[in-house]
Amino acid sequence: MERVETDILILGSGGAGLFAAHHAADQNPNLKIIVSAKGLIGKSGCTRMVQGGYNVVLHPDDSFEKHFKDTIKGGGGINDQELAWTLVNDAPKRIRELETKMGVFFDRNEDGTIHQKPFAGQTFDRTVHKGDLTGIEIISRMRDQLYAKPNVTAWDEVRAIDILFDEEKHRVAGCLMLNMRTGEFIVVHCKAVIVGTGGAATMYKIATPSLEKSGDGMAMCYRAGTEFLDMEMMQFHPTGLLAENSRLNGGVLEEGLRGAGGYLINSLGERFMKNYDPERMERSTRDRVSRAAYMEIMEGRGTPLGGVFVDVSHLGKENVRRMFPGMVERCRDVGKDLSMEPVEISPAAHFHMGGVRITNNCESNIPGLFVAGEDAGGVHGANRLGGNGVCDSTVFGARAGDAAVSYINTIGTSGKISDAQVQSFINDIVKPFHNDEGENPFYIRNELKNLMWEKVGLVRNGKDLEIALDELRILEERIERVSVKGSRHYNLTWQEFLNVRNLVTIAKMVTASALMRTESRGSHYREDYRERNDEQWLSNIYVTKGEDGEPRYHVEKTKQTRIDVATMEGNKIEVASK
């Protein structure tokens, strides 16, 4: 077993992880920093897949108050308002940093200013972008600049297993890691861990994230004892490409298609959004558009592949190919010409608004454990606005890096890790090699995806949620009986065991929280409680691990620190400064 000493360990190489690394390294070039990715750094993760762009206040006619109000309104009023205010205020700083320090060059207007385009759910066109493949530009430039920092070490295909504590269990002292290529364990001794591994939307049958995402960071944080909130809030992107029997199935067609004037059409040729949000039509928020498409499909007005159509051909072939070259290419991969014909799409599980409860500086309730990006909850409330995702990861990734440096400056030496603690974690995850006959984790994963799609998806009800909870407990028991053959070297069956173990941990929290919330709000829709109920449910559901290892839930009223959500529909909105 290899042992490695470092100051800061960063898990994940998306926007959150890379920004954390840059900020920590710049704060103190003498620190040792490791960035570890389950895939290949710069080539994996969800930030790289961002197409639409980045919401930021740049135009003189826009304001922080407008962006903040849009974010709170989109989030159904249960956002952590301090986190949301931090998001909109820090975003311009991160854009300047991306351009001037990382070398990102966003699309420009003729006068040289950054071009900003419309995105759904926003009252101002504030989304900056690089064509329709913004994430590739951001991550590629951040990766290149990272390799220029001598105090940062990058690990490819090394996944995190569990957080390690010092002998008194007062603070984080390291992390147990697994080199996926060799099957060997690595104990990393460090003073701070930053978690930015992404969400767990891949627990659903149709999902948009990169394939390696399996809620690893969230599951580790849960086992370590962090507090979670809003776990019932899973966003479904309304325009996931339908590509039958292909890994492209669920791949996102970006929000800008609707922002630019694209139509959503059912099998009868009707623009069905007129029946759900006649004022905003296709530019409604993601939760409403996704649910509308789902209802059309369920009521028999779906396409041959069980979806609906997105049509931008009326915008003109040349315009579509100029504005959305990446999307045209993606559709061409499945034999469709987006510029000339309607393309079949479906809602697809996309982004987890819930996650670890953090402070403005990404601190969890465990000293030395910082969480940023999709692993953290509170910023987006019940529904995230398109364009606020990469904004979130860069804003809070930067803060996590800064805060981790400040923290380790105060603690002196690293904590001591007991061999017994390490061996206990290793014993748990090598069990499948000792089961001669048993369950196949790939079969369990498929059952999980179907269960969550059918019982805990876009439209929920109490009966189905109770059934799902019972089924998840059974899946959890079956995971204990998984059998893995062969060596540990790049053993994909073993990796899938680790994946599905983490996904079921998160799925239980999602399902139980959804059962508790007896109303409909944002991305959470209960057909047995169709109305929003602010009197009872202008609240957040919190989750912690009990002494028996099972989740414990409690409810707290959402704090109205800057804006009274009850006035959101009015014309005079005052946002207090702090």
**CA-based max dimension of the chain:** 68
> For residues 179 and 487, what is the distance between their CA atoms, to the nearest angstrom?
13
The DSSP secondary-structure symbol of 459 reads S
What would the 3-class secondary structure string for 229-275 be?
ECCCCEEEEEEEECCCCCCCCCCECCCHHHHCCCEEECCCCCEHHHH
Alpha-carbon span 283 to 263, nearest angstrom: 10
**Would you call 538 helix, strand, or coil by DSSP?**
coil
Q: Look at the block and give the residue holding tokens 């059912």.
A: 266
Residue located via tokens 């978690």? 195
Tokens encoding 348: 């697809």
Annotated catalytic residue, options 67, 258, 288, 501:
258
Beta strands in 12-156 (DSSP E): 33-36, 54-55, 116-117, 127-128, 152-155
Cα–Cα distance measured from residue 493 to residue 448, given in angstroms and rounded to the nearest whole number: 16
How crowded is residue 100: how many other Cβ atoms within 10 Å of its Cβ?
A: 9
- Establish whether 380 is a catalytic residue: no
46, 213 contact by CB (below 8 A): yes
Sequence-distant (6+) residues with CB within 8 A of 147 are 154
| Amino acid letter, 458 | L
Q: Which residue in 346, 403, 342 sits closest to 372, CA to CA?
A: 403
The gap between the terminal CA atoms of the chain, to the nearest Å, is 50
Please choose, from the candidates 77, 88, 64, 69, the residue with its C-alpha nearest in 3D space to the C-alpha of residue 560.
77
Token readout for 322 is 């100029």
- DSSP output for 129-178: -STT-HHHHHHHHHHHHHTT-TTEEEESSEEEEEEEE-TTSSSEEEEEEE
Catalytic status, residue 258: yes
d(CA 555, CA 231): 12
Helix %, strand %, coil % for the chain, to 5?
A: 40, 20, 45
- 22, 94, 143, 237: which one is catalytic? 237
For residue 301, the SS3 value is coil
Q: Determine how many CB atoms are found less than 10 A away from the CB of residue 560.
A: 15
Catalytic sites, residue numbers: 237, 258
